[in-house]
Structure 1
Amino acid sequence: AELAARLDAAEARLAAQAGAAEEAEGEIGDLRRRLAAALAQKQAAEEAMSDRDDIRQQLARALAAQRAAEQEAEEAMSAAEERAALLATARRELAGEEEKSAEAQRRQALLNQQVAALRSQLGSLQALLDDYKEREAAANVEVQSLGRDLNAALARAAAEERRRRELEEAEARRLAEEKARLEAEKQDLERYRSEFFGRMREILSGREGVRIVGDRFVFPSEVLFAPGSAELSDGGRAQIARVAGLLTEVAADIPQEIDWVIQVDGHTDNVPVIAGARFEDNWELSQARALSVVRYMADELGVPPFRLSANGFGEFQPVALGDSPEARAQNRRIELKLTER
């Protein structure tokens, strides 16, 4: 607004100076006309020379008029030049002001652009802030929900932990009771087994062919079977019958909760089976002999089948090392063991 006012004032000064210049030019023209008239009069006076005094007076007046006209012209010229100088100065100032106005307009445009950019950034920041506030509110809601869920989960976990501890304690008590029961059963079985083997030692004392080794009866294969055969001999039947009879007596006193079994294991030496024989190898022969003993005890001696177990080990569990006749004789055997299933 100030720049526009200054521009209007400069234009007004220019207009006034232009009017004064036009008036000066008019006066200069009038003076020139008067000067021309004086010169004409002078020329007429000189030509006439009729009245020198009059001519001199006229000439003096003309000269005075010329000087006055020239002085007035000089003054008018000085005023016009001053007005022209003022006009030039005003134009320069106007040009400077216009340049300043253009620069101010450029700066204003730049400021407008910067303000627009800042407003855009502010809008973006406000959008981000609004979004952050929305997400923060949602997060707070989610945190509250998660807190409730966590509390519920912790409560469930505590309940599950209590339930687990109770189950573990109950299981520990059950296992302790089971262990105690099994220990008692084991002790009972050991007692009955000790009684069984003690009585068997008395019966078999001094008899040939049967040995008690630890917790098992050991029958040489020759006592029970013919070489290469899995059929019980008559002498073998008698030996097995003695053991089964005593076992039946002892079994009547064994508590029902003790799951006992007679394990029959067949073993051979390391001499290969003769080609074309009934059995393919020693493994099959040892298994067949153990089955023969088990079947005889179940079918003819009345031992419950579920109390019997037959296993064949071939030559792979020797009790004597080496290939001597004595070592091989010890490895050919049938073992009976009273044990728990």
Structure 2
Amino acid sequence: MSAALRRRRRAFDIWPGFVDALTSLIMVMIFVLLIFAIGQFVLSDTLAGKNKALDALNAQVAELARTLSLSEDQKHALDARVTELSASLGTTQSERDQLSSELSAANTQAASLSADIAALTALKHDLEAEVARLSTQLDTTQDDLVKQTELGNAATAQVELLNRQMAAIREQLGKLEAALGIANKDIQAKDLKIADLGKQLNIALANRVGELERYRSEFFGKLREALGDRTDVQVVGDRFIVPTDILFDSASAELGPAAQTRLDSLAATVREVSAEIPSSIDWVLRIDGHTDRRPIHTDRFPSNWELSTARAVAIVKYLVVQGIPAHRLSANGFGQFQPIDTADTPEAYAKNRRIELQLTNR
């Protein structure tokens, strides 16, 4: 074999080894690039999940801010209501009733506002727990990012952005906690104001009851003089008790001449006393009819209910004719169901057959 032929054979033997080495190098580079792409995809997916969690947390914070704004609006409305109640205190009886209803509404609103604040406090605790959880996840993400330093500065910028967002959320939570503290103080102040209004209302009621008590005593004294010195005419507490027998016949609701004479004296006494009662006192004269326990069955009076009511109405109608305003009179019938004496004796029956007069607030 010649020397030229041997040299060509050696050159052909080297070339396949070179091709194999180059192919192996290319496969290694492709594998490295594939590993890099997989790591980039995993990190992008992790960061996208953190961004979604932060968006949800921001939405919850916005909703919490809106709820707090609604609570503040309710607090302002409660302030206006308490001011209105304070201005209307101490007026007429109808205004006193309105004040009582408005105080009840204010208590209801205060309780509702307290419940809203409790709900906001619970939501704040939930947000704090969520922030702690996200902080833990962020720390884990930071550790992963440190281990994958080959991903570059983009991942570091994402971590810094997350840190700034977490700091902003913590600042908002701090402001929210301060706002809740102020709201709790305002609620306590409103409770004190409502309690003070209640005390003032009770004092005003007590004063009015005391004023009417003085006129009631004068009315009973003059009424006793008008009806004569009778032992069966009594004053029991705030009631003036008149036996039915001096005004009506048995089983009757008709006023005879003698009864009308006595009622004339009663009407004159009512006119005299009512002229002295201040207009700020909303008073009414109650006429209550009572019977004994013996039943009655007639076409006009099927039971003692009808008889006692008819007697009270007859007295009221006569007083209206004598000039007493109808809105200052009230007729009521109780039949035999509120006896003074429960015995089955003629004396007990006589006590239970009565007309009670009561000068009271409407």
- Aligning the two structures, in what range does the TM-score lie when normalised by the shorter sequence? 0.5 to 0.7
Distance 1:163 1:231 in 2: 58
TM-score, length-scaled by structure 1 = 0.57
1:238 Cα deviation after fit: 1.8
TM-score, length-scaled by structure 2 = 0.54
Opposite residue 280 of structure 1, the aligned amino acid is: P
Distance 1:138 1:206 in 2: 95
1:186 Cα deviation after fit: 1.6
Opposite residue 221 of structure 1, the aligned amino acid is: T
Residue 286 of structure 1 is aligned with which of 303, 308, 312? Answer: 308
- Unpaired runs of at least 5, structure 2: 1-30, 86-193
Distance 2:42 2:292 in 1: 91
Residues 176-230 of structure 1: CA distance to partner in whole angstroms, max 9, x if unpaired? 5544433322221111112212333444452365333332221211111111111
Distance 1:200 1:133, change over 3 A: same
Distance 1:202 1:297, change over 3 A: closer
Q: Secondary structure at the match of 2:277?
A: coil
Q: Secondary structure at the match of 2:276?
A: coil
Q: Is 132-141 or 199-208 further displaced after alignment?
A: 199-208
Opposite residue 141 of structure 1, the aligned amino acid is: D
Partner of 2:280: 257
Distance 1:238 1:128, change over 3 A: farther
Residues 61-84 of structure 1: CA distance to partner in whole angstroms, max 9, x if unpaired? xxxxxxxxxxxxxxxxxxxxxxxx
Opposite residue 134 of structure 1, the aligned amino acid is: A
Q: Is 179-188 or 219-228 further displaced after alignment?
A: 179-188
Distance 1:209 1:224, change over 3 A: farther
Partner of 2:222: 199
Distance 1:260 1:242 in 2: 20
Opposite residue 352 of structure 2, the aligned amino acid is: N
Q: Is 126-135 or 279-288 further displaced after alignment?
A: 126-135
- 8 Å contact kept, 1:267–1:312: yes
Residue 323 of structure 1 is aligned with which of 344, 357, 360? Answer: 344
Mapped pair 1:335 → 2:356: yes
Superposition RMSD in Å: 3.0
Distance 2:42 2:331 in 1: 83
Over the matched positions of the two proteins, sequence identity in percent amounts to: 41
Residues 291-329 of structure 1: CA distance to partner in whole angstroms, max 9, x if unpaired? 111111112x11100001011111100000121111111
Distance 1:272 1:128, change over 3 A: farther
- Unpaired runs of at least 5, structure 1: 1-114
Query: Higher Cα Rg: structure 1 or 2?
Result: 1
1:162 Cα deviation after fit: 5.6
- 8 Å contact kept, 2:227–2:265: no
Residues 225-284 of structure 1: CA distance to partner in whole angstroms, max 9, x if unpaired? 11111111222222222122111101001111111001000111111114x442110111
Residues 143-190 of structure 1: CA distance to partner in whole angstroms, max 9, x if unpaired? 123223323433443453465356447643655554443332222111
Partner of 1:149: 63
- 8 Å contact kept, 2:227–2:262: no
For residues 1-341 of structure 1, the aligned pairs below 5 Å read 133-158=47-72, 160-161=74-75, 163-164=77-78, 167-168=81-82, 171=85, 172=194, 175-204=198-227, 206-207=229-230, 209-274=232-297, 276-299=298-321, 301-341=322-362
Distance 1:162 1:243 in 2: 54
Q: Secondary structure at the match of 1:191?
A: helix
Q: Secondary structure at the match of 1:252?
A: helix
Distance 1:195 1:136 in 2: 85
- 8 Å contact kept, 1:209–1:223: no
Distance 1:237 1:128 in 2: 107
Distance 1:221 1:170 in 2: 49
Q: Secondary structure at the match of 1:231?
A: coil
- 8 Å contact kept, 1:197–1:215: no
Q: Secondary structure at the match of 1:322?
A: coil
